[in-house]
A and B are shown apart, each in its own frame.
Chain A
């Protein structure tokens, strides 16, 4: 049973589409993260939010636009993506950003295919 829910689980989109990924955490955490998981590559941190403020933008192209309206919800807005953006996008949350309570809990991910 995960306290981090991601929707949709699967998404197929064309390069000209606009879509959004949604993440919701039910753990009362204050920090949320977006990761990209591509085949045969380590997880790549994309964005970090703490108390709804973005604290990390890991050189992510502007066609990915995050939004954190409150500490329980995180969105990733997608537009004019490229086929190489096809990957599993994982959301995670943690109680706080730093220190021993930065234990990150992950959702099941959204499998994105860009045609």
Chain B
């Protein structure tokens, strides 16, 4: 079955510390992978995406993610977290199907301590 797992429901880091949010997926074909961020009361904003090629992808706001096929993972990282990064983060997987369906993880809530 196709699925996305974000093992950490809630993470707290200090401002300036590094961050890694985990994402594991199960998908039968070549996956397209996405990270979205949602601030309170807002919709989802695309941080970055992976379709093919270089397995380390750069996104907006200083985020990056690495696709590891052998581990079925697409973890999100940021070297130094800012207070404004506090939000909910969603990993999603899609593919070449003709329905445009994305499968989302349950999300990880990031809290940033001053």
A and B held together in a complex: yes
Contact of B102 among A4, A45, A50, A100 (CB under 8 A): A45
In the docked arrangement, what's the CA distance between A111 and B40, Å?
12
Q: A102-B94, A103-B49 are in contact. Are A97 and B43 (CB under 8 A)?
A: no
A31 close to B (CB within 8 Å): yes
Give the residue name and chain of the A residue nearest to B44 (CB): A106
B90 close to A (CB within 8 Å): yes
Pair A43/B99 contact, Cβ less than 8 Å:
no
Per DSSP, chain B at the interface is loop
A33 close to B (CB within 8 Å): yes
Provide the A38-62 mask, 1 if CB < 8 A to any CB of B, else 0: 0011110100101000011000000
A108 close to B (CB within 8 Å): yes
Which residues on B are within 8 Å of A, measured CB to CB?
A: 4, 32, 34, 36, 41-46, 49, 51-52, 90, 94, 96-107
Q: A41-B106, A43-B90 are in contact. Are A104 and B100 (CB under 8 A)?
A: yes
Pair B102/A104 contact, Cβ less than 8 Å:
yes
Pair A33/B100 contact, Cβ less than 8 Å:
yes
Pair A97/B98 contact, Cβ less than 8 Å:
yes
* Interface size, A (range): 20 to 34
Pair A55/B43 contact, Cβ less than 8 Å:
no
The 21 sampled A-B contact pairs (Cβ below 8 Å) are A6-B43, A33-B100, A42-B103, A42-B105, A42-B106, A42-B107, A45-B101, A45-B102, A48-B99, A48-B101, A55-B99, A94-B100, A98-B97, A98-B98, A100-B32, A102-B32, A102-B100, A103-B49, A105-B46, A106-B43, A108-B42
CB distance from B8 to the nearest CB of A (A): 14
Q: A106-B45, A107-B43, A109-B43 are in contact. Are A42 and B104 (CB under 8 A)?
A: yes
Pair A2/B43 contact, Cβ less than 8 Å:
yes
Q: What 9 new A-B contacts, CB under 8 Å, besides A42-B104, A104-B102, A111-B41?
A: A40-B106, A42-B105, A48-B99, A48-B100, A97-B98, A99-B96, A108-B41, A108-B43, A109-B42
